[in-house]
A and B are shown apart, each in its own frame.
Chain A
Amino acid sequence: MAGCLAAAALLAACAQAPLRGTGDLGVVVERAAGRLQLVETTGARIIGQVPGLGDLSHASVVYSRDGRYAFVFGRDGGLTKVDLLRQAIEKRIIQAGNSIGGAISQDGRMVAAANYEPGGLKVFATDTLELLADIPATYGDGKKSAKVVGVADAPGNRFVYSLFEAGEIWVADLSDPKRPAVSKFRNIGKEPYDGLITPDGRYYMAGLFGEDGIALLDLWNPAAGVQRVLDGYGRGQEKLPVYKMPHLRGWAVAGTHAFLPAIGRHEVLVVDTVGWKESARIPVHGQPVFVMARPDGRQVWVNFAFPRNDTVQVIDAPSRRVVQTLKPGKAVLHMEFTPRGEQVWISVRDDDRVVVYDTASFASLKELPADKPSGIFFTTRAARIGF
């Protein structure tokens, strides 16, 4: 209150901002404009904008454990801490030449950025963005550097990630941030393009681009090494050209099965997470990009790569059948469920809008204007392992 009385401007600001939680907040990335739209899912509305975030192509976002701060990773190597309540940038640093994404540690004190250039992982303090650890992704003779992809947090303040050119999975234990302990798993397969960790934090899976299969690491038993699952799922058939790399995240797991994009095929692969055997493959409209389970695991929503990217399909998880085909518009890039999944927000880049659907009736509930929207990230991610 003393702060509010200090200046008239502050008084006005305080008067306009009643106390509120952040559990129903989120951001929509406007990638070309370098701006975030701040959104509230309860009212399905835009509550503000935060500009000045640089090059946001392929931007991704993780949240502080209190759900107040968004950490935004930009293509230009920018790491920006955004305060959702003050609707302002708290701090912004350029930490690399080219970045792909990041993760936040189990204890919430560290945020890790996965970088393409220079290839490696950098770990920062979430409160100050001070650099805590720098782990270059060197491989081979130690002179080559790989692009880091698919970083996920694991229990024990560990970060797990893959090295694209090297075909390796690294587990960095940052229990002591000053002395990171890195375990390296080599020859895991050709060109891992992204990774995910199961919602229980036990299994890390890296999808392979250079061959048909998934590299699987059991973090409860790392001594057993990396095993191959869905090996040769293409059965030797030539794959189609891939116009957009698929993405993997922990939401691919619905109940006891993981639903995964097949590379270069119009298929979603289903694997059981007990025996890690293929249990089905589901024909879909195009090459899947995001395959995302609704939070209850009953439905799995899929969007597709260029040029079939005007469509979203819904798979009924128990019957493994496509039960709905939607046409949200031109260039669907991302989907995000509300915390308990009654709605899904879908970004439609070339139509400059976000469409909100009811996941039970599939009715389109609302459209929000956004400039070339890409990723949508809600604060529910703050409390989930692997996000």
Chain B
Amino acid sequence: MTDFAAKLVLSLLAAGLAAQAPAAPAPAPGRAAQILNMVRQDCGSCHGLTLKGGLGPALLPQTLKGKDALSLKSTILYGRPGTPMPPWKPFLSDAEAEWVVEQLVKGLPDGR
């Protein structure tokens, strides 16, 4: 990263901090693709490949709208006891789970 780009990123981050909670750093491209595949395919076994819902609820931007990002992240990491939702902590770091929430809220890129 050039010095200029680094400064730009820093100032953007600062701006972001001022406006709202900072965006989670995106995972490296290879890892990001792996995570998106997992979300589509493995989360998709219950939530549907298009995330429109199945045994589990829909995970589309319109259904997640207004939901607390932190509680969505902890649902991903720790599951939801008393329901079939399992904890994904063994497979996702805290930052990665946060990034997944961001992707879901704005709509998953079509990455099949």
Contacts and interface: CB of A to CB of B under 8 A. Distances in A.
Top 6 nearest A-B pairs (CB, nearest first) are A57-B49, A241-B86, A32-B112, A306-B42, A244-B45, A75-B48
A243 B49 contact: no
Nearest to A191: B84
Interface in B60-101: 79, 84, 86-87, 90-91
A241 B79 contact: yes
B48 A372 contact: no
10 contacts: A31-B49, A56-B49, A75-B52, A100-B54, A164-B55, A241-B87, A242-B84, A245-B45, A245-B46, A245-B84
B50 interface: yes
A75 B49 contact: yes
Chain B binding surface SS class:
loop
Contacts of B42: 243-244, 306
Contact of B54 (A58, A241, A243, A350): A58
Given A32-B112, A193-B55, A307-B90, 9 more contacts: A57-B48, A98-B53, A116-B55, A191-B84, A241-B86, A243-B45, A243-B86, A244-B45, A306-B42
Nearest to A309: B42
A55 B48 contact: yes
Contacts of B11: none
Nearest to B79: A241
B37 A350 contact: yes
A31 B112 CA distance: 10
A83 interface: no
A145 to B, nearest CB: 14
A23 B112 CA distance: 33
B91 A209 contact: no
A56 B79 CA distance: 26
A349 B37 CA distance: 11
A331 interface: yes
Interface of A: 31-32, 55-58, 75-76, 98, 100, 116-117, 147, 164, 191, 193, 209, 241-245, 306-307, 331, 349-350, 372
B44 A57 contact: yes
B41 interface: yes
B60 to A, nearest CB: 13
A98 B46 CA distance: 12
A102 to B, nearest CB: 15
A58 B49 CA distance: 8
A300 to B, nearest CB: 23
Contacts of A58: 45, 48, 54
A75 B55 CA distance: 11
Interface in B15-70: 37, 40-42, 44-46, 48-50, 52-55
Contacts of A245: 45-46, 55, 84
B52 A98 contact: yes
Contact of B53 (A31, A117, A244, A350): A117
A55 B41 contact: no
B54 A55 contact: no
